[in-house]
Amino acid sequence: YLIQDGAKLVLGWADVVAEWAPEWRRAVRQVVETGEGAGSAAGASEGAILRLLGDDPVPVDRVVEQSGLPASQVAAGLTALELRGLARRVAGQHYVKG
């Protein structure tokens, strides 16, 4: 029934990313291709993003506004934080500290 409803086989994080909107996929691809990570500019932006999160859900738009980072960098940073268990997406496009 799941397959009939459009479910897809997921073997890893790349399969999940493939289903995202193009701008989110480009942001993740840029981070992967350039090797940005902890200790780099991406790591610094992840720290800035994480400082804006707390126990109350924060909309992505507010994170972009308060961080001063481009939306694509915020999207990549939130994804990286989620993958490391430091942030969690809740209802809609809202995030809390993991």
Residue by residue, pLDDT tens for the chain (98 residues) are 888 888 888 887 777 877 888 777 777 666 554 545 444 555 778 889 999 999 999 999 999 999 999 998 899 899 888 888 889 999 888 999 97
CA 17 and chain centroid, separation: 10
Q: Are 44 and 52 in contact (CB under 8 A)?
A: no
pLDDT at 82: 87
Q: What's the N-to-C CA distance of the chain in angstroms?
A: 32
pLDDT at 8: 84
pLDDT at 38: 45
Q: Are 81 and 92 in contact (CB under 8 A)?
A: no
Which value, in Å, is the radius of gyration of the alpha carbons in the chain? 14
